[in-house]
Amino acid sequence: MLNQEISPSKKGKPHDVDIHVGGRVRLRRSALGLSQDQLGAAIGLSFQQVQKYERGANRIGASRLYEMSKILQTPISYFFENYGDNSLAEDGNSPYQADPVLKRETLELMRAYHQIINPKQRKKILKLVQALAEDSQRESNQEEGKRKPKGHS
């Protein structure tokens, strides 16, 4: 365990763990329907500081992370879940790829979906989205097949 390499952050660039934790703060805040301003006010910070935390530009200290976990009603471990699986960093030079769940449109879709009270309507919406995704995937695969040169696998 002590022999694990920890890559230092490059000068002026956020560390991958800071980007990951910030992304998880954003995800949880958005899932609860809180604005950056509301989260900041709850812990005595400006929305600009919350933005910096969410981008990973500023590191979140242990006591601040503890405060956030209480406000966001989640255990501290939540902020580190899936770290190292290449899913959350948004920096183009990072080895990580942005998690599509962290995109604004995905968060808005999740929030709107959960505001639908009728379970039958929610089920219909889910089936519609799944059908659209299947069609999109099928179309993408067909386009990919057209671009492949014949004789290559």
What are the residue boundaries of the structural domains of the chain, listed by start?
Answer: 16-100
- What CATH number labels 16-100? 1.10.260.40
The two three-digit tokens of residue 29, written as one number: 């805040």
- The pLDDT profile of the chain, 153 residues, written as one tens digit per residue, is 445 444 555 567 888 899 999 999 998 998 888 999 999 999 999 999 999 999 999 999 999 999 999 999 999 999 998 887 644 444 444 444 556 666 678 878 888 888 899 999 999 999 999 999 999 999 988 888 777 666 555
**Model confidence over 110-128: pLDDT tens digits?**
888 888 999 999 999 999 9
Q: Where are the alpha helices (DSSP H) in 3-153?
A: 16-31, 36-43, 47-55, 62-71, 104-115, 119-147
The residue assigned the tokens 């309507």 is 121
CA–CA separation, 140 vs 143, rounded Å?
5
Short-list 114, 21, 17, 26, CA closest to 72: 26
